[in-house]
């Protein structure tokens, strides 16, 4: 919602955006924000907005356009109106993130115990709660940190510290072949403070505290000079203070992670939180009451992972009947195909494509094909899926890694535009767990059928193994179910619901991997009763789906 050209030109992440925004406002360098204020008793206070403007709900895009015309800040205009609101719809972070929550509640003049929370799509908060407690540093952030330390004449030891970590990551990136490698936090910390000439952990902790204090001094000097402050030094100090605090905790995992984009490798050093309950239990405990809503959640897994039984409050689980007409849903599990590692060969992918061909032929409009990974997606492309799409008069749209939000929005807009005559539909090739298989709706002909290709397990990386071991310990040997099976089936369940968005929608869901037949009890209730297991024979899919779409 920001209209500041200064902030937008820097392309900051969310934490940096908040810091930059604050500096721009404090220095009176944001005209959009200043236009919202008027002088009252010598102090800035919000202007009075005409209530006629907001006598009905206003769409976010309309609000932004209104603010562009009047050179106002849409974000703070919304915030200034919040104290008068009885219902506020917001991002999960406003409540889950302790720092943001404190600021938000102070702004609206409420305590958490005065708030009734309605958490929609509540399955998302499991991963988000652990992400909030996780931190990472990269060579990029270290180089910018080092630049600030040099420009603002820090003690040489602080510069040496940034250089030691930077050189360490450079060496690891060169020598690391895996996408992830676990770190012994005690050994690495010992190695670092010895390289700094320090004797023990306590001396290193005092040094990092000094680094944090120096970051505050840099921030104050930048602000006094009217500069935009991006606190890379403070982030480095916070990372290592968290490392010291958590290094003996078994609910944290430390690792190097490698990402590859455009044939270039980048490396991060990460502190990975494993337990969402550190974030969720205080919210459960202190809120007035909470309603958790999801169309795909497994109640048993959910109540364990977020700590409902440790909140000190009573709770009730309600499983409702599906509102959708059974005759409008056809759900199939296809036998004879799977994407187990040993089976990922041209003959298996050609067999999968042959069965996808039957789905495309039988479906009148758009089809979504969501793969277990980008590797499987690429294998479908190399084995001729585009030819099959063309054969069925459906244009193929391919979701690519690294697409920006605006680029992806255009892709989906073009895909949806093919849903109605004179076109005969299109096929969207993407991944389970991606924004198009979870965050996007395709009512009506925008997606008649969805194919979940492969069982979408995460790669068994060291962090996944660490989470399995930790959950085995704290959830009575449920590690594999909670940390490996459940996230995979949740991605499949989310993807499977894309075509059925409105009460009268008609759609088919095809689980294109025989392993789903052994996990039927984990599939969402709303389609479980509709499931059929289809034998590995030619044209069986066509014989089932063609009449479904063509006979009233």
SS (H, E, C) 238-274: HHHHHHHHHCCCCCEEEEEEEEEECCEEEEEEEEEEC
Q: Between the CA of residue 86 and those of 93, 110, 116, 180, 537, what are the distances in Å?
A: 19, 11, 10, 46, 58
Model pLDDT, residue 56: 75
Share of the chain above pLDDT 90, in %: 70
DSSP-based three-state secondary structure for 372: coil
d(CA 33, CA 488): 44
Number of helices and strands in the chain (H, E): 25, 15
- Mean pLDDT confidence for 450-459: 95
Rounded to the nearest angstrom, the gap between the alpha carbon of residue 298 and the centroid of all alpha carbons in its chain is: 19
d(CA 86, CA 160): 53
Residue 39 has pLDDT above 50, yes or no: no
Given pLDDT bands bounded at 50, 70 and 90, which one contains residue 41? Answer: very low
d(CA 447, CA 501): 10
Given pLDDT bands bounded at 50, 70 and 90, which one contains residue 51? Answer: low
Q: 411-443, pLDDT tens digit by residue? A: 999 999 999 999 999 999 999 998 999 888 899
d(CA 46, CA 30): 15
Model pLDDT, residue 315: 92
CATH architecture of the domain 326-550 equals 3-Layer(aba) Sandwich (3.40)
Could you tell me the two tokens for 545?
Answer: 């789906």
Residue 45 has pLDDT above 60, yes or no: no
Note every long-range contact of 144-148, with CB atoms under 8 Å and residues 24 or more positions apart, other chains counting. Answer: 144/230, 144/232, 145/232, 145/233, 145/235, 145/236, 148/218, 148/232, 148/233
Higher pLDDT, 519 or 55: 519
d(CA 242, CA 251): 13
Model pLDDT, residue 287: 97
Given pLDDT bands bounded at 50, 70 and 90, which one contains residue 259? Answer: confident
Model pLDDT, residue 48: 55
Given pLDDT bands bounded at 50, 70 and 90, which one contains residue 54? Answer: low
Query: Per CATH, which fold does 135-273 belong to?
Result: Fumarase C; Chain B, domain 1 (1.10.275)
Given pLDDT bands bounded at 50, 70 and 90, which one contains residue 38? Answer: low
Bond preceding residue 14 cis, omega within 30 of 0: no
- Sign of the dihedral through C-alpha 152, 157, 163, 168: negative
Given pLDDT bands bounded at 50, 70 and 90, which one contains residue 205? Answer: very high
Share of the chain above pLDDT 70, in %: 96
d(CA 172, CA 241): 22
Higher pLDDT, 530 or 293: 293
Q: 86-138, pLDDT tens digit by residue? A: 899 999 999 999 999 998 999 899 999 999 999 999 999 999 999 999 999 99
Q: Find the range with the poorest average confidence among 23-37, 196-210, 352-366, 534-548.
A: 23-37
Residue 43 has pLDDT above 80, yes or no: no
> What pTM value is reported for the model?
0.87
Domain boundaries, the chain: 1-85, 87-119+278-319, 135-273, 326-550
Residue 315 CB: number of other CB atoms within 10 A?
12
Residue 533 has pLDDT above 80, yes or no: yes
Strands 180-182 and 252-261 turn out to be antiparallel
């Amino acid at each position: 919602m920001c209209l500041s050209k200064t902030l937008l030109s820097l392309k900051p992440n969310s934490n940096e955006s908040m810091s930059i925004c604050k500096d721009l406002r404090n220095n009176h360098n944001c005209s959009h924000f200043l236009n919202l204020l008027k002088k009252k008793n010598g102090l800035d206070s919000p202007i009075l907005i005409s209530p006629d403007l907001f006598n009905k709900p206003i769409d976010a895009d309309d609000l932004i356009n209104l603010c562009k015309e009047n050179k106002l800040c849409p974000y703070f205009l919304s915030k200034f109106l919040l104290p008068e609101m009885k219902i506020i719809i917001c991002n999960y972070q406003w409540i889950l993130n302790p720092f943001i929550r404190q600021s938000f509640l102070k702004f609206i003049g409420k305590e958490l115990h005065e708030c009734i929370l309605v958490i929609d799509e509540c399955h998302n908060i499991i991963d988000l709660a652990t992400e909030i407690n996780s931190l990472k540093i990269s060579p990029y952030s270290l180089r910018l940190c080092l630049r600030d330390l040099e420009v603002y004449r820090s003690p040489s030891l602080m510069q040496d510290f940034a250089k030691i970590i930077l050189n360490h990551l450079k060496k690891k990136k060169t020598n690391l072949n895996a996408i992830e490698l676990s770190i012994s936090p005690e050994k690495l910390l010992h190695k670092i403070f010895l390289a700094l000439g320090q004797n023990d952990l306590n001396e290193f902790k005092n040094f990092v505290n000094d680094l944090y204090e120096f970051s505050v001094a840099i921030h104050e000097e930048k602000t006094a000079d009217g500069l935009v402050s991006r606190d890379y030094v403070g982030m480095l100090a916070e990372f290592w203070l968290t490392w010291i605090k958590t290094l003996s905790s078994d609910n944290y995992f430390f690792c190097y992670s490698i990402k590859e984009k455009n044939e270039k490798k980048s490396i991060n050093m990460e502190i990975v939180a494993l337990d969402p309950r550190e974030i969720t239990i205080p919210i459960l405990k202190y809120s007035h009451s909470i309603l958790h809503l999801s169309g795909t959640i497994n109640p048993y897994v959910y109540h364990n992972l977020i700590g409902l039984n440790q909140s000190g409050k009573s709770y009730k689980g309600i499983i409702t009947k599906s509102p959708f007409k059974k005759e409008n849903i056809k759900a199939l599990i296809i036998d004879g195909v799977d994407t187990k590692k040993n089976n990922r060969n041209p003959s298996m992918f050609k067999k999968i494509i042959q069965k996808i061909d039957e789905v495309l032929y039988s479906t009148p409009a758009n089809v979504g094909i969501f793969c277990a990974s980008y590797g499987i997606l690429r294998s479908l492309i190399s084995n001729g899926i585009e030819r099959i799409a063309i054969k069925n008069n459906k244009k193929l749209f391919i979701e690519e890694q690294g697409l920006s939000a605006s680029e992806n929005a255009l892709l989906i807009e073009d895909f949806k535009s093919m849903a109605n005559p004179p076109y005969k539909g299109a096929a969207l090739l993407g991944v389970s767990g991606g924004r198009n298989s979870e965050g996007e709706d395709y009512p009506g002909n925008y997606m008649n059928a969805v194919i979940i290709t492969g069982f979408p397990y995460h790669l068994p990386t060291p962090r996944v193994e660490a989470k399995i071991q930790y959950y085995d310990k704290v959830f009575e040997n449920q590690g594999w179910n909670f940390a490996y099976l459940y996230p995979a089936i949740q991605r499949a369940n989310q993807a499977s619901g894309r075509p059925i968005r409105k009460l009268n929608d008609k759609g088919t869901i095809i689980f294109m991997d025989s392993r789903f037949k052994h996990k039927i009890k984990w599939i969402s209730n709303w389609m479980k009763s509709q499931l059929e297991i289809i034998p590995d024979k030619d044209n069986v899919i066509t014989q089932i789906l063609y009449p479904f779409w063509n006979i009233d």
